[in-house]
Amino acid sequence: MTSTVPDWVSTHLEPWGDQLGRDRQAYTNHVIRVLELCDALHFQHGGTIADKPTGRELFLVAGVFHDLGIWTAKTLDYLGPSAKLARDWLRANDRSDLGDDVSRLIEDHHKITQASAPNSPVEIFRRADFIDASLGLRRFGLPMPVYREIARKYPNAGFHKRLLQLAGKRLVTHPAKPAPMFKW
Ligand SMILES: [Fe+2]
C-alpha cells in the first residue's frame, strides 16, 4: 500500500458516499480506528512491521466493508450483505483469492466469544472492532492510552450514537431478534 490508511479508506468508501450520507465521516473514522487497533494488537502479540495489518489488503478490504451493509442493505442484519460487497470488490479488482479470508473476518467480527488464536487475523480484527465498539472499555490487554490516542486522531463523529439509534429502531421492528449481527 502506498497511500496512508486514512487516504486508502476514504478513497475506497468514495463509491458509497451517497448511501453513507451524513454517517460517512463517522463510519470512515470507525474503519480507520479499527485498522489502527489491528496494528496495535498485532504488535502486542509480537507481530512484525513487515506483516502489519494496515499493510495487508486482507485487513484493509475487511475494514472498509465490514459494516457497510448497514447502509447499503439498510438493515442491522448486515454481515452477509457486507461480506458480499467485499467479495464483489475483490472480484472486480482481481483479488478473488482473498474472498474467503475477507469474508471470514467480516462474518466473525461480532462473535461474542473468541473466534480463533489471539494472533490470527480473524481474532485480531474481532478484538479491534470490539475495542472500538466498547469505546475502549474492553481492550484485550491494550493500554488505555493507546486507544485514547487513536480515538483522538480519528474522532467518533457520532458513530456510536447512530448505532444506538439503529438498534432502537430494530428493537421496535424485530423485537424477537433485535441484534442479529451478534454470534456465539
Ligand atoms: Fe465495526
pLDDT score recorded for residue 2? 67
Among 139, 16, 22, smallest CA distance to 66 is for 16
Q: Is residue 182 part of a domain?
A: no
> What is the count of structural domains for the chain?
1
pLDDT tens digits along 77-86? 899 999 999 9
pLDDT tens for the chain, 184 residues long, are 668 999 999 999 999 999 999 999 999 999 999 999 999 999 999 999 999 999 999 999 999 999 999 999 988 889 999 999 999 999 999 999 999 999 999 999 999 899 999 999 999 999 999 999 999 999 999 999 999 999 999 999 888 888 888 888 888 888 888 778 887 7
Instruction: Spell out a b/e string for 30-69, using b for 16 or more CB atoms within 10 Å of the CB, else e.
Output: bbbbbbbbbbbbbebeebeeeebbbebbbbbbbbbbbbbb
Asked whether residue 183 is assigned to any structural domain, the reply reads no
In a domain, 41, yes or no: yes
Q: Of the candidates 35, 70, 27, which has an alpha carbon nearest to the alpha carbon of residue 159?
A: 27
Give the global pTM: 0.95
Parent domain of 69: 5-173
Residue 160 Cα to ligand 1 midpoint, Å, equals 10
Question: Ligand 1 mean position to 62 CA, how many Å?
Answer: 10
What CATH number does residue 136 fall under?
1.10.3210
Query: How much distance in Å is there from the Cα of 43 to the middle of ligand 1?
Result: 21
Q: Tens of pLDDT along 23-64? A: 999 999 999 999 999 999 999 999 999 999 999 999 999 999
Does residue 98 fall inside a structural domain?
A: yes
